[in-house]
Structure 1
Amino acid sequence: MTKSESSGSSGKNPFRPSSLRRKRRDAGGAAVFALCTYFILLCATFIFGRIAWDGVPVLFQTEAPFVNVEFLTENPKSLVVFHDEEGDEVRMDIDEFTEFKRDNPEAVITDEHSYSYSGGGIAGPLFGTAMLVIICMVVALFAGVASAIFLNEYARPGKVVNVIRLAIMNLAGVPSIVFGLFGFGVFCLWPWLPVLTYEPAEWAVASLRVPFTTGFLSFEGWGTSMIAGGFTLAIMVLPVIIAACEESLKAVPMGFREASLALGATKWQSIRTAVLPYAKPGILTASILGMTRVAGETAPIMFTAAVAQKAMLPHQEAKGQGVFWISDFLTQSVQALPYHIYTVAARIPQSEYNKPMQNGSVFVFMLLVMVFAALSIYLRGRYRKQLKW
């Protein structure tokens, strides 16, 4: 036995605590980690609990159907507060108040006050948020998955690919308001983006008549519209989707590709049949988490798509038929739930009369985020059980 072997066999374990002081230090470090963890959980519990405590009375009620359907199906309106002949306080939406005054011209109304965006419901913001997320994910998933496939499966490793990946990582750190300004300059103001319309705008740089119709393909830009907001959100979430999809593709064993190619499959056939099905759980998780992020963004849509007040939903205002109706629908401005929350919480005078709208909107938005997160966990677990190697 050599000298080094004898000394190694008789030496002490360097990782074994050799003193009571080191044991106490280790226990203290574990306690600090535990305190930090429980502090975060306590903060999250307090925040979610406060939102639920204030929002549940707005969304739910004690009588059938136990859900405040009007809050979910009506657009935001002004709330009128006044005192009647007996001195009782009465609250009405602006539409109800107008009808009440018309039907009761002799009614005594005193101390009348109006509060913007504090009546009605959140149907418009909910619909707008849904449309923005759908457009965003259609664009972002197609472009993001395609980019991840190219970078991981087709591109040769080298400086160019490293620079592209570095650019994607840097893009993920850009503030959302910068994406909003970019989307406003490109998708809202740039006039060379086409729309289908029956009457080209005065500022259109060119227009082409569509054969067999009375409409035109007009290059006049998208303006403040849901398609401009959707594309802006898609660009913002692309780095997250590309990175997550690429990691999912890397997790698939290389032997799957080699076996497929050895059987005579082309490169794309190998990717489509032997790689993408096994990367699907990660791709789905990335897409749903991306949906959760873009659903809560305010700055990008504030510049490109959202308005504070809108009497009708986009499909109610869209005109034309066929593809012309679709084009007019996509170029409508929309309300959005994050921007609506910002409006009622920061842009109007605060009072007890707009608190229910604030609390209900935040609670519904929290429920949407929780549903997206639960769906992500469920789909990831389901597909991982089906795909084993």
Structure 2
Amino acid sequence: MNPAPTNENPFAGDSSGIQQRETAARWGLRIGSYVVVLITLAIMLHIFIKGAPVAFQSKWPFVNTKFLTELPATLHVIEDRQGNHIETDVNGSDAVKKKLGDNFRAEKTISYSGGGILGPIVGTALLVIVSVGVALFLGVACAIYLSEYARHGKFLETVRLAILNLAGVPSVVFGLFGLGAFVLTAPTFVDVPAERSVFSIPLGFTTLSFEGWDTCVLSGGFTLAFVILPVIITASEQCLQAVPQGFRETSMALGATRWQTIRYSVLPFATPGILTSSILGIARAAGETAPIMFTAALAFKDKLPWQKDLPPLPADASIFAHWEQSVERFLGIFTESVQALPYHIYTLAAKIPQNEYAERAQYGSVFVFLVLVASLAASSVMLRKRLRAKYRW
């Protein structure tokens, strides 16, 4: 006797408790992702609402050029007897008070809240350039060795464990490391070693003295390079390993050496991914505060790095003398202490009494900072897309 026909679909999904738990887990993960996106959008919207009016204006050229092209300064707020507030700098304060005369009521000064943020922008750019340049060179070299040359064994495991531990070190520890390794101990060529020199090696025409680089762009850049090094090493190694093994075998079968194979058959196809790691490195290096507090950053500086005072040359100085002074001025950029946007924002938020003027400077600095980091990241993404379109397999 044939069984009675049924309308149930034998291939239908399971509607039991397992399927219900699977659906609940999927929705839980989806909601968690939405919450992360909403929090990110809320933060960005809050910064845009507070900071955009500081960086932009309603009149041509619609950008607050004063905020972007002047150095930070002390803001003087002068109040008259009618309750009106006049904002000026230290040079205009006396003139405004003299003009008000008996109508003058009170004056309030807010440090670092006047002028602009040109100095912190320049300092941040210099620190990022040095740190990413050093970290990319060391990171890609380490990734090539780990991926292409190193043999599997205890040594390789030890190196990878060291990289993981380096990624977990707090940034303030990197700052103390940079203070000891670069500010106080790094080698430099001098005529006469300083008293704090750990030891020196006479070279005849000069002396190699381990007395450090002081607080400067080089010290801060090298310290930040070690902060972002684990990210670049890990991402670069994964990109190298993603290149098909057949590329290497074909190249070496045609008679290429190991390095030629890496240089022409592996690195070009891994470059887009390596640029991704540089994007992460730029964002991390630009946003660090603790390492540069010990090694490079100042709360206030009234000159840009290339405005270093040098003795004037005589009227009959040769072209070589002018060229030598130009080189000295250029190299002096990297041996000067600088302001940096993260430290500038920290100073405004933690060291200055909170009021509407300090808050305006804070949010304006944060807004410009995010725009700069986003612009650098967008440029790297566009370059990565072009390289991916060029190198496809």
Instruction: Rate the CA distance shift 1:264–1:21 in 2: closer, same or farther, 3 A.
Output: closer
Question: Structure 2 counterpart of 1:311, which letter?
Answer: D
1:316 aligns with 2:307: yes
Tell me how far apart the structure 1 counterparts of residues 204 and 47 of structure 2 sit (CA, whole Å). Answer: 52
Question: Structure 2 counterpart of 1:384, which letter?
Answer: R
In the TM superposition, what whole-angstrom CA distance separates every residue of 1:186-220 from its partner, at most 9, and x where no partner exists?
Answer: 11111x52056x88756456597996xxx987653
1:137 aligns with 2:132: yes
Tell me how far apart the structure 1 counterparts of residues 295 and 167 of structure 2 sit (CA, whole Å). Answer: 20
Question: Structure 2 counterpart of 1:164, which letter?
Answer: V
Tell me how far apart the structure 2 counterparts of residues 372 and 209 of structure 1 sit (CA, whole Å). Answer: 43
Give the one of 222, 234, 247 matched to 2:225.
234
Alignment-derived partner of residue 168 in structure 2: 173
Give the one of 65, 71, 89 matched to 1:69.
65
Instruction: Indicate the SS of the match to 1:308.
Output: coil
Give the one of 215, 226, 240 matched to 1:249.
240
Q: Is the 8 A contact 1:84 1:110 kept in 2?
A: yes
Instruction: Rate the CA distance shift 1:16–1:171 in 2: closer, same or farther, 3 A.
Output: farther
Instruction: Rate the CA distance shift 1:327–1:219 in 2: closer, same or farther, 3 A.
Output: farther
Length, aligned pairs only? 371
Tell me how far apart the structure 2 counterparts of residues 88 and 123 of structure 1 sit (CA, whole Å). Answer: 29
In the TM superposition, what whole-angstrom CA distance separates every residue of 1:88-107 from its partner, at most 9, and x where no partner exists?
Answer: 21111223325656x85957
Alignment-derived partner of residue 9 in structure 1: none
Instruction: Rate the CA distance shift 1:148–1:318 in 2: closer, same or farther, 3 A.
Output: farther
In the TM superposition, what whole-angstrom CA distance separates every residue of 1:61-92 from its partner, at most 9, and x where no partner exists?
Answer: 11001000000011111111112365521111
Alignment-derived partner of residue 212 in structure 2: 221
Alignment-derived partner of residue 4 in structure 1: none
Tell me how far apart the structure 1 counterparts of residues 374 and 213 of structure 2 sit (CA, whole Å). Answer: 33
Give the one of 285, 308, 314 matched to 1:294.
285
Instruction: Rate the CA distance shift 1:115–1:26 in 2: closer, same or farther, 3 A.
Output: same
Tell me how far apart the structure 1 counterparts of residues 264 and 147 of structure 2 sit (CA, whole Å). Answer: 16
Alignment-derived partner of residue 369 in structure 1: 373
Which residues of structure 1 form unaligned runs of 5+? 1-11
Tell me how far apart the structure 2 counterparts of residues 314 and 376 of structure 1 sit (CA, whole Å). Answer: 26
Matches within 5 A, 1:139-154: 139-154=134-149
Q: What is the Cα-based RMSD across aligned positions, in Å?
A: 2.6
Alignment-derived partner of residue 83 in structure 1: 79
Instruction: Rate the CA distance shift 1:24–1:203 in 2: closer, same or farther, 3 A.
Output: closer
1:49 aligns with 2:40: no
Instruction: Indicate the SS of the match to 2:34.
Output: helix
In the TM superposition, what whole-angstrom CA distance separates every residue of 1:232-283 from its partner, at most 9, and x where no partner exists?
Answer: 0001111111111111111111111111111111111111111111111011
Give the one of 177, 193, 196 matched to 2:187.
193
Tell me how far apart the structure 2 counterparts of residues 296 and 318 of structure 1 sit (CA, whole Å). Answer: 30
How far residue 109 of structure 1 moved from its aligned partner, in angstroms, is 3.2
Q: Is the 8 A contact 1:152 1:249 kept in 2?
A: yes
Which residues of structure 2 form unaligned runs of 5+? 1-8, 312-324
Instruction: Indicate the SS of the match to 2:112.
Output: strand
Alignment-derived partner of residue 339 in structure 1: 343
Instruction: Rate the CA distance shift 1:309–1:199 in 2: closer, same or farther, 3 A.
Output: farther
How far residue 46 of structure 1 moved from its aligned partner, in angstroms, is 0.9
Q: Is the 8 A contact 1:210 1:217 kept in 2?
A: no
How far residue 154 of structure 1 moved from its aligned partner, in angstroms, is 1.5
Q: Is the 8 A contact 2:187 2:208 kept in 1?
A: no
Alignment-derived partner of residue 96 in structure 1: 92
How far residue 377 of structure 1 moved from its aligned partner, in angstroms, is 2.9
How far residue 300 of structure 1 moved from its aligned partner, in angstroms, is 0.4
Q: Is the 8 A contact 1:71 1:120 kept in 2?
A: yes
Tell me how far apart the structure 1 counterparts of residues 102 and 160 of structure 2 sit (CA, whole Å). Answer: 69
TM-score of the superposition, structure 1-length normalised? Answer: 0.88
